[in-house]
Amino acid sequence: MSIDLATPLPNVLPDDAPFRLIGDTGKAVPPKQRKGFELPSIETLSLIYRKMVVARRWDTQVTALTRQGRLSTYPSARGQEASELGTVIAMRPTDWLFPTYRDSIAVLTRGVPTAEILTSFRGDWHCGWDPHEYSTAPQVTPLATQLLHAVGLATAAKLKGDPIAAVTFIGDGATSEGDSHEAFNFAGVWQAPTVFVIQNNQFAISVPYSKQTRARMLADRAVGYGIPGFHVDGNDAAAVYAVVSSALERARSGGGPTMIECLTYRTEPHTNSDDPSRYRNSKEVDAWRAKDPIERLERYLLSEGALTDADRESINAEAEEGARAMRDALNKDPVLDPLELFDHVYFAERPALKEQREALASELASRGSAGRTGGGE
């Protein structure tokens, strides 16, 4: 690919303090401290607020159903709603998202139906939706591998002249994986229209940030790849939205990739099978719960007179409806076809797989099962 060496390289490290547009107390920071970013409109912030409330209700319900055994596992994103949805709401439907297993609420906000998101956590297939339909890749588990897919897709779009960008989430732990380095570097060299959103939630299962890196912050890495880097308060939805929006705009107009570190906190266990009491103290968790991203935005909207009782009612109704739809979806037993095991391994037909398929079919027939089973059996 032709490389434009005339592109000026950023040479400024991010500030120590994460960038904010709305402070802890719900007050907008003075225009002078906004570093050229604009506070998103009330309409945008109201939408983000609405979607965060809906997402948290959904996340809470999924966690509850996981405890009841309806799902085999669920990694919650509670407390990270501003990073997740500030990012996703800044995207266009044609931009691509490459999420991880923790980013279910981002996938939900992209418009993927509940039942299709929970397919993998329930255990009936590894991915439940058509990625092309929602421009949303499957949630990955092998950490940092998806960053390279995002860079590749973004590069393909650039080669075709399509004005889209690829956004990918990665956690602090996964920035220790070699693929993250390769992805940041490829994106820089190829000027791929990619936005890397690092959600630094400070824990990789049990291992704290300090055991992943000596670096002051992860966003410092950007300068080493010759790409812009931002250190953002990940619990400030307004700041996340503003910085991601400008990165997307830059990406779509040929300005290359951006690395954005959203500093946040995983207030929940890693998954339902984790025990955080073994590795962190509850005072720290409580301190971060007090910095709740939804409450912060709510205070701002209230102070602006932009959140009425009628709004709250409508938002809560939408949230309850989302939770109800999800409960309904999960209360139906999945329809499993054991013979589908063989159907998608290859695009081209394989005689040897057909043999194995037929063998399973006759095994099932000899047991007196027609082959289709409900999940409850």
Partner 1 sequence: MAKNSAAAADSATVTMASALNRAMREALSEDSSVVIFGEDVGPLGGVFRITDGLTRDFGENRVWDSPLAESGIIGTAIGMAMYGMRPIVEMQFDAFSYPAFEQVVSHVAKMHNRTRGAVRLPMVIRIPTSGGIGGVEHHSDSSEAYWTHTPGLTVVTPSNPADAYSMLLEAIRSDDPVIFLEPKSRYWMKEKSEGNLEPLPMNRARVVREGTDVTLIAYGPTVSVALETAELGTHEGLSVEVIDLRSLSPFDDETVGASVRKTHRAAVIHEAAQFGGYGAEVAARVTEREFYHLAAPILRITGADTPFPAPLLEKFYLPNPERILDSLSTWQWED
By CB under 8 A, name the binding residues for partner 1. 1-2, 125-127, 130-133, 137-138, 142, 145, 147-157, 159-160, 166, 178-179, 182-183, 185-186, 189, 340, 343-348, 350-352
181 contact partners, CB below 8 Å, separation of at least 6 = none
Nearest to 143 by CA among 233, 217, 75: 75
Written as six digits, the tokens of 126 are 């590894």
**Angstrom distance (rounded) from CA 350 to CA 302:** 62
Q: How far is the CB of 183 from partner 1 (least distance, A)?
A: 7
| Active-site annotation, residues | 266, 270, 279
Closer to partner 1 by Cβ: residue 125 or 279? 125
**Angstrom distance (rounded) from CA 249 to CA 260:** 14
Written as six digits, the tokens of 258 are 């951006």
Closer to partner 1 by Cβ: residue 98 or 203? 98
Q: How far is the CB of 72 from partner 1 (least distance, A)?
A: 17
Q: How far is the CB of 28 from partner 1 (least distance, A)?
A: 38
Q: How far is the CB of 259 from partner 1 (least distance, A)?
A: 16
Closer to partner 1 by Cβ: residue 182 or 298? 182
Closer to partner 1 by Cβ: residue 67 or 354? 354
C-alpha distance from residue 138 to each of 62, 132, 146, 244, 252 (Å): 19, 10, 9, 21, 23
Helix axes 42-67, 237-252, angle to 10 degrees: 110
**Angstrom distance (rounded) from CA 327 to CA 318:** 14
Closer to partner 1 by Cβ: residue 321 or 343? 343
**Angstrom distance (rounded) from CA 279 to CA 302:** 37
- What's the one-letter identity of residue 116? E
Q: How far is the CB of 153 from partner 1 (least distance, A)?
A: 4
C-alpha distance from residue 346 to each of 132, 327, 350 (Å): 18, 34, 8
Q: How far is the CB of 65 from partner 1 (least distance, A)?
A: 23
**Angstrom distance (rounded) from CA 1 to CA 193:** 14
CB count within 10 Å of CB 332 equals: 10
**Angstrom distance (rounded) from CA 276 to CA 331:** 29
Q: How far is the CB of 206 from partner 1 (least distance, A)?
A: 23
CA dihedral 318, 330, 206, 289 (to 10 degrees): 20
Written as six digits, the tokens of 355 are 């043999």
Burial class (CB in 10 A: 0-12, 13-18, 19+), 59: buried
